Structure 1
Amino acid sequence: MRPVLHPARAVALSFLVAIAVGTVLLMLPVSRAEGPGAPWLIALFTSVSAVCVTGLAVVDTGTYWSPFGQALIMVLFQIGGFGMMTAATLLGLMVNRSPRLRTKLVTQAETHSLALGDITSVTRLVLVVTFACEFIIAVLLTLRLRLAYDLPWGEAAWSGTFHAISAFNNAGFSIHADGLIRYAADALILLPVMLAIFIGGIGFPILQDLRLRFRDPRHWSLHTKLTLIGTGVLLLAGFIAVLAFEWDNPKTLGAMALPEKLLNAIFASVSARTAGFNALDIGALTRESWASHYLLMFIGGGSAGTAGGVKVGTVVILVLMVIAEIRGHTDSEAFGRRVGASAHRQAITVLVLGSAMVVLGTMVLLRISDFPTDRVIFEVISAFGTVGLSTGITADLPPLGQLTLIILMYLGRVGTITLATSLVLVERRMPYRYPEEHPIVG
């Protein structure tokens, strides 16, 4: 009997394979717009950023890479966002309607499906939602670019498709050197992009829950309720923070009319939660706005979606723990449900290890570069949260600094998934318990 590969390891290895293949293909001369093939570090950085749906770049995507290279990058972040194991299971379903248990377990690690029996419906939902949403957004963007900006149909379709897929997968890649700044006043561009970011980043288990019980919120799962509430609070907080800190900044919102200020503030709040598109110059934001971005980028989006970060659910669970402790309750509760002790431990573990990676990455970059601390912190959290927003220092980092960001992008995308899965799968009841004692806290 062949040994079963641990689902968490299978997910991690699959991402590594995709990264390796992408790196090799990006090094080919056909992938570069001019000259010989891309150097290995540029190809590796771009491949990792695409597969891990981050969007950080050391070269301009629209001018450095050829149409083939740009299409390859789009395929890589489509694979990364869709989920390597979800794609594998879908292929298995097409060939054989009865995927083996190992395939189901591996897919469950990527989709965070609640039960093995749900995987078929979840993966079908992933397929339908992904391509339906990308197609609709691509059509809307294409029509807008053609009719309002008079782009040729081919150029409008390519730009619309690229940005639609990038937005849904929360990848943040753009074929424009200035991101979406040229469309900062165009709601018919930014609103569809925001919609794609939200649907892709909220998490497929929630989409499945809403599909089955949309008209009966009382029967939504606790995960759905907590994630939606947490997402709403974070979006509102980010919106208010950007408005407050950038209102008079002449380099960002200061020169805009009120409708444009509101549009760009909400877009910045949505995009900061791992999408990575910018309609404002990130390098020109105030330090207070950077600080608010730290929080939004680190938390990220919903579990089992295309977003990164430590996830909204993780943070909401910790908030419930704090509230319960303040009230003197032994259990954390919400909506008539008690949050399990194992979820508490997993949330704390994910948050602590995520914070440790951010701190360690920041220390490394501060040691090997001369950039200001606030810019370094922004770049590190953006990489770990697979956001892709940048203050403009990524391309100027030394090779070791770029390798550090590569590791952070990989761990941020794969590490949280594999860690959470491993914690669930290795959990077991001990046959004994030691006497309890209470060390001093605080």
Structure 2
Amino acid sequence: MQKNLQNQNFSESPPQPTGIYTGNNKNGWVKVLLLILLTLILLAGVFYAGTMFRGLQKQDKNLQTDTTPSPADALPSEEAMPTVTPQAVGIVTGKIFYPKDNNIFSYDTKSKEITKWTSYPKNKSSSPAYDEKGKQIPDIEIRHIKVVDGATLGFVKCGIVKGDFGCGLYTLNLETKEISERKKLSNDLFVLTAGFSLPNKFSYLVSAIITGEKWQLFFFNDGLLKTLEDVSTGSYGRGGFIEDSEKIRFSKDGKYLLQISTSSPRNPSDFNVYVYNLSDFSKQVISGATQPEWLDDKTIVYRKYEKKGDGLYLYNITTKTQRKIEGIDEASYSPSVLTGSNKILYTVYPDKQIWLYDFTTKKNSKVLDKAIFGSWVTPTKIIYEEIELCNGKVDCGGMMGEYETKSISVFDLETKVKDVISDLESTYEAASEY
């Protein structure tokens, strides 16, 4: 133990603190004592102030009944409020698309602007026409324009030369104006009508007019082709009357397809709507029907074509039942559905009037006189054919008897203002997002 103690290094005096005391004089000790005294006084003051504050805090807490901030206090500052982004509006919104001079045009119902979307060459005045090398110049036809989504159109284009219709199904991207060929058809097939669900999901009805051998309905889905109908060409029967209809329509969810051709080789008077389930390709038939449209994914509105019980009806594809829409004139034709709502436009043809029916309120109201074939452009605007009496004009009337189409117009249901579209002669090939 002594040895261990001897090995330890003890200094003669402990190390001196630095900064306060560095010597042994009296003045240094006085300074130290004064500093210690001031420190004690400050500590006592802090202790007293803390005691008083805790007492006041306890007293204040006992007086309060609710410490929840008010709604105004809870709101974040204006800088912290999230910005509200308005719902995106597609390029197609408020526009009417139509073919003219072998190209696709649109009329904007808000700005009144007319826009040309494609740049196919104009057909020659005489046909057939040939270039300087003696090659026949195709006659371009644009038909069956359909709005696919907010920025896409689907359409049929044929480049007709001798022995080749040159038809195909295409889409047009309205943002880039890029045209994509989705399906090229063989040279003997002419497209009678077509419909699109998606850019790469569509259906088309064709006839082999040159060879006269076939009449076929196809469904194309992302590269897969399914034949829905294949009928040997026979008598086509009637056509061109107010009761007639030829169209293809997909349900909004794309699960079903309806098709009608009142003049077809299936039957000379084929007043049947054919409804195809695209999951198993089963088929339902609505007999004695024409001019169908989807009211929703399970319901079809159509005109009943029978000697008794004419008018507008509803058919449910799930229950396979139908019922008449009460309170609507039996001479009602061409229903047009405002997609996503319970409203339809229709024409009372003998009176040349357009009416609106609301399934929710059961309200039935007249929209226009001297007007036929109304269809929706926006929830507040419709396109229609304005008509007038022939008054002795030569080659006037036709199917409409003593009437003829005066103009194609847009009518605002809210402002009651009418705008004439000088570019259009018929609503038949006009298309909107509805």
Same topology, TM > 0.5 = no
**TM-score, normalised with respect to structure 1:** 0.30
TM-score (norm 2): 0.30
Higher relative contact order (CA 8 A, sep 6+): 1
Which structure has the highest strand share of the two? 2
